[in-house]
Structure 1
């Protein structure tokens, strides 16, 4: 099957090799790397099941993913759908990674379908480290690595670039923490107390609004800070008939921290990882019974009668 993980990964390897036959700053290098990245993402989805690649608008595409050859050409989902699904199914693949992949995919589309030289003039240092970071996550899910994809020499380059990127990120995170701590320490005792009191009150309200948030100790000032993330997966539904609630456990990959007390802000999973705040956390979200069961209130309530009754009550109260 054309959508098998092995076939797609083999093609990604071919395109990766073609990329590295070019100069790293050339447009051809960026073009082939964008194709290599998308094929790795498709291979990751196909490893779980090829049906994740099938365009659902034609059931023949779905049949094909199960080995049944339909009439006509089969179609797979667009790149943006592939990257979005990776953020759901591939551990460690974040929404920020999906956004990076979409930028490269858009650049590739403009290269192929317009008169724009979309890959010209882009310094590799502005996009290649992030691309290697996404590839590393996808390759891990595919039980592979850079050596298997590029060969020994280019694998060392990729690993060195990622090491440098992480070292730079670590230095930036340490600087952010130190700057926030220094600014907070310049406040007098009363100012610290007043700010902390207001901030913690706001934090409780903010966290309560979403299951993808929690309070955690700020690495700068020690007070609680707001940690938010994106859903990795959800557990089975728990229905409590006595309390009339529907809940489920949510596993959240953190991607941002904001401290309302000292002002520290960390953005992205990698920055949180360097601050020892990158661990997946679990929370509980409550489902709306109407949405969960697909209830249409209008089918169970006479809206016109309610409107008439409302106006009658208004008239009688005058």
Structure 2
């Protein structure tokens, strides 16, 4: 990473500016101006996300089609007109960087950015149409998720006093999710137990024959992998899907082997049980059941060798 990063793409500078903007957001809320509250909050969220990426490397937030910006990200300051990625690209990248920044959070963040753009660049008034309880708790949850990845917290970002209200909202939202998911699990369990034992046994036997590679149709979106889980409601073979967040080459390999073992990690995004029809969306709902949303496995694949040059 370059030692002297231009301030426009400095992770520390972006983080500091996000703190200024979120402070303005809370100030507008205290005055009852909920439109500007959401406006400044949306700007603070985008800056915070860019700060998280820039701390990994500033090249992650510059426009890859603008070569001058790429040079600046490499520490070669050829311009002061640095172009950065769009909010949509930002949140897509955060979904790969931050394990708990799942599709549910990503779509929420994209939505608030779209409303911000409409507010600034059109005659529409999208913020005025949004009720506070429709976005505020999810907003603080998204911020808290990014801050945890950065080794920070709402308390540090906002200041302990200002953070009390968002933290209370997060606790309330978490409790609501936990209660709703437990009711959903219990309802699916009761429905399954109400079946005749012979029917339950038949369904359980059929579930054991299902293989992950044939379950893509169960899920709303396409993901990198589908794996087996035990359903917390009916105890049958169920499935989870998610995106790969990392891989490492295992050291367990013979010197002359033509295959390598890859340790892979995935973050669960959706859970489906074909037997009792229990459905869970997002890592928060999955976690509320006691299931782990982190999945690790090993894959064997053929070694890829670089071509030899200049030896012919």
TM-score, scaled relative to structure 2: 0.84
1:266 aligned residue: 280
Q: Secondary structure at the match of 1:152?
A: coil
1:315 aligned residue: none
Distance 2:228 2:149 in 1: 30
User: Displacement, 1:287?
Assistant: 6.5
1:312 aligned residue: none
Unaligned runs of 5+ in 2: 1-6, 218-222, 307-312
2:310 aligned residue: none
1:6 to 12, 19, 23: 12
User: Displacement, 1:170?
Assistant: 0.8
2:154 aligned residue: 146
**Which deviates further from its counterpart, 46-55 or 135-144?**
135-144
CA gap of 1:31–1:285, structure 2 versus 1, over 3 A, is: farther
Report runs of 4+ in structure 1 exceeding 4 Å deviation.
207-211, 237-247, 285-289
Distance 1:207 1:287 in 2: 23
Distance 2:247 2:201 in 1: 38
1:310 aligned residue: none
CA gap of 1:163–1:196, structure 2 versus 1, over 3 A, is: same
User: Displacement, 1:265?
Assistant: 1.3
CA gap of 1:120–1:147, structure 2 versus 1, over 3 A, is: same
Q: Are the equivalent residues in 2 in contact too, given 1:55–1:76 (CA < 8 A)? A: yes
Distance 1:288 1:118 in 2: 52
Q: Are the equivalent residues in 2 in contact too, given 1:173–1:271 (CA < 8 A)? A: yes
CA gap of 1:34–1:240, structure 2 versus 1, over 3 A, is: farther
1:220 to 217, 222, 233: 233
Q: Secondary structure at the match of 1:232?
A: strand
Aligned residues: 293
CA deviation profile, 1:88-146 (whole Å, cap 9, x unmatched): 12342223222111111111111111111121121121111111111111112223222
CA gap of 1:45–1:288, structure 2 versus 1, over 3 A, is: same
2:53 aligned residue: 45
CA deviation profile, 1:229-285 (whole Å, cap 9, x unmatched): 222122238999999767633211112211122221111110111111134111245
2:44 aligned residue: 36
From the two aligned structures, give the one with the greater helix fraction. Answer: 1
CA deviation profile, 1:69-89 (whole Å, cap 9, x unmatched): 114622111111111111112
User: Displacement, 1:288?
Assistant: 9.1
Distance 1:140 1:165 in 2: 17
1:94 aligned residue: 102
1:257 aligned residue: 271
Q: Are the equivalent residues in 1 in contact too, given 2:227–2:239 (CA < 8 A)? A: yes
TM-score, scaled relative to structure 1: 0.83
Distance 1:12 1:240 in 2: 50
Q: Are the equivalent residues in 2 in contact too, given 1:199–1:261 (CA < 8 A)? A: yes
1:285-296 paired onto structure 2 within 5 Å: 285=299
Unaligned runs of 5+ in 1: 295-318
User: Displacement, 1:293?
Assistant: 8.5
2:210 aligned residue: 202
CA gap of 1:142–1:255, structure 2 versus 1, over 3 A, is: same
1:232 to 217, 240, 245: 245
Q: Secondary structure at the match of 2:208?
A: helix
1:287-306 paired onto structure 2 within 5 Å: none
Distance 2:33 2:208 in 1: 49
User: Displacement, 1:204?
Assistant: 4.7
Distance 2:157 2:256 in 1: 55
CA gap of 1:287–1:31, structure 2 versus 1, over 3 A, is: farther
